[in-house]
Structure 1
Amino acid sequence: MSRLNLDPLLTFPDGSHLVISTQHSAGEEFSCALYSAVVGNDDRIAFKVVSHDIAASSCMKAQESAYEYALRRYPSAGVILKKPPYLIWHGPRSSEMQ
């Protein structure tokens, strides 16, 4: 996944990963979205949306809000969930979405 500048927040028991995208929107707003990522046998990655845009006035605040959302969604993962800051990745292409 490093070829996509992805840094997983969490690896699930089934081998899938929780990943985050971070984007700078028009104006002064940043947004993050969480995805479940599954690497196939052919090294292609399939993504499913876990959360839609989580917006904030700074990159770090958006990433912290996404982290808090992930903690609420996966409370048992609190000790192993990677904390921000995260690598900047702009999200999957539409062809990678399931």
Structure 2
Amino acid sequence: MKKTFTLVHPKKKPARVVDAIKSEVKKYIKRERNKQLPKDSNYWAFDCKFGLTEQDAQAVHQNTISKKIDGAVAAGHDSFYIEIIARADFRARKIED
């Protein structure tokens, strides 16, 4: 998902627009996690970027996307850019002592 979201809508209140954006991001992540994994991997990792524009986007952790959206709204920005790329990865189990 590479998308620029606008926070201004003529008929919707900003809070409803923000809720719709967060819902769309969560649905995308859930849809990607449900895809079949390749044989050499055991989980889906997500490379995420967030910024006001595509050129300004910086890498962020998947769990901080919601806070970044809230920060953009609080700062009064009209739009922001989110990039979420799913990649299959292998996580080794921790050895317990």
Q: Do these two structures clear the TM 0.5 threshold for a shared fold by scoring above it?
A: no
Q: Greater CA radius of gyration, 1 or 2?
A: 2
Q: Which has the higher helix share?
A: 2
Q: Using structure 1 for the length normalisation, give the TM-score.
A: 0.29
Q: Quick one: higher RCO (CA 8 Å, sep 6+), 1 or 2?
A: 2
